A and B are shown apart, each in its own frame.
Chain A
């Protein structure tokens, strides 16, 4: 695949998005859609620009980011420890694996009201929901990675007398870096989704709360402006996660590059 053709795919994608936005603009400006249902993209952007100049909005964004970041860190540590323990003790993985592998289907936000009840209406239950959404992807990827390490690595490490912590640090973790990065990327996405969802359901602050507030206030313009913001933010979070993955994996000597 040459760089040129992938560039032209990006171009086509850009044209498609732009023409979709133009169509939406046209439909709204011609009055084919009520202004209470949809607002033109230009109005969304203008409202967003205005919103971004208010301190309250900037504080909301900062809070959402800090909550998402904290849940990601906790979920990654928890997931890695859990995955490692499950790899080490098969009895633990016999019990936990069926639960973890269908964890994504469990509506964890159903536990949110209870978390609020005993953690208080602050950032902590929001972070907890982010962690609950994100940790299973990390744990499963850690476990799958550890299980798929070629036995030759384990054996040569043993022959060379690499054990315990050094084995984890110098053999296992580098060997499963791609799985870890996949888990990290998924955990980042889920943590962000979980945090926004919890804020949307019930929270005094944050981006999710701002959207539900605008909706309940019949403030359609701010609502769409904030949705646009979340789309931007979520796309940039994805981009950052992918860049981190690329950076980390770039220094890896693979079988192909040796």
Chain B
């Protein structure tokens, strides 16, 4: 109970700080919390936000699916084949520490100004952590699991499905969660340049006309969206983890 009280205090502290900032710097610099809330309600109730939210979410979903499939397959391949893993891992780490926003002009030139460039940019952000986590998870599989599987005479497919994948489950899902969150960041950054739709576009538009209420409202919405999606992924992972672990313990018990 005390936790919730503490959290409420923290929430109102942040709100108070925000209000103080807008009072001391003026609403031309920082919109007041109340004005932001009103703008948020207007954006939602008039249906203005609909197409933009739709654009962002659909780009995100497509990029996450693509990044998931490609990242898992490549990560598994590199993780199970030792030599190629050792060769490519430093390259993937170097790529993932690159400020990818600098690559965006290239993506725009190659994919055009439409939705595909946003999907591609989300994909670039999402695929690298998924690959790295999958690779790491594959490398961490205890050797005696594989040896036991071989002793039990399991064929390759069964070993993969029943031993390798379940023991990688938690690594894979952490990678997917990180990748999905970063893909959302990628999509939003993509929308900030050369787009007609999306939450990122709304943010950039608000910057261009210096509409501070809209800036704050969109920023707030982006933060809520990111946190909500992150919480949803956590929940999915929790359910999935329990399921996978149950299958795993059943196997090891039998």
Contacts and interface: CB of A to CB of B under 8 A. Distances in A.
Interface of A: 6, 9, 12-13, 16-17, 36-38, 91, 94-96, 102, 104-107, 109-111, 113-114, 117-118, 189, 192-193, 196-197, 200-202, 207-208, 211-212, 214-215, 220, 223-224, 226-227, 230-231, 234-235, 237-238
Main secondary structure of the interface of B (DSSP, over half): helix
B99 A192 contact: yes
21 contacts: A9-B83, A16-B87, A95-B10, A102-B227, A102-B231, A106-B227, A107-B185, A114-B216, A114-B219, A117-B25, A193-B98, A196-B101, A197-B101, A200-B102, A201-B192, A215-B108, A227-B102, A227-B103, A227-B105, A234-B94, A234-B99
A91 B181 CA distance: 27
Interface stretch (B1-9, B67-75, B136-144): B1-9
A123 B29 CA distance: 17
Nearest to A110: B219
B99 A230 contact: yes
A196 B99 contact: yes
A106 B223 contact: yes
B101 A118 contact: no
Contacts, number: 135
Closest 6 pairs (CB-CB, A-B): A105-B181, A196-B99, A117-B29, A110-B219, A215-B105, A118-B25
Contacts of A36: 109
A16 B88 CA distance: 10
Nearest to A230: B102
Contacts of B110: 37-38
B227 A105 contact: yes
B98 A230 contact: yes
Nearest to A237: B97
B106 A227 contact: yes
A227 B30 CA distance: 34
A201 B185 CA distance: 14
A12 B83 CA distance: 10
A12 B88 CA distance: 10
B99 A208 contact: yes
A131 B97 CA distance: 16
Contacts of A202: 207
Contacts of A230: 98-99, 102
Interface string B220-234: 001100110111000
B109 A113 contact: no
Q: In the complex, which range does the number of interface residues on chain B fall in?
A: 35 or more
A113 B185 contact: no
A114 B215 contact: yes
B206 A193 contact: no
B93 interface: yes
A220 B28 CA distance: 37
A105 B229 contact: yes
Contacts of B106: 38, 223-224, 227
A172 to B, nearest CB: 25
A215 B104 CA distance: 10
B210 to A, nearest CB: 8
A37 B109 contact: yes
Given A13-B87, A17-B91, A107-B188, 20 more contacts: A6-B86, A91-B6, A95-B3, A95-B10, A102-B226, A105-B182, A105-B185, A107-B219, A114-B29, A114-B216, A117-B25, A117-B30, A118-B29, A196-B102, A197-B99, A208-B99, A215-B105, A227-B102, A227-B106, A234-B99
B189 interface: yes
A231 B96 CA distance: 11
A232 to B, nearest CB: 10
A186 B75 CA distance: 21
Nearest to A190: B97
Contacts of B207: 113, 202
A109 B189 contact: yes
Nearest to B90: A13
Interface in B114-143: none
B101 A200 contact: yes
A111 B103 CA distance: 22
A193 B189 contact: no
B149 interface: no
Interface in B198-225: 203, 206-207, 212, 215-216, 218-219, 222-223
A110 B230 contact: no
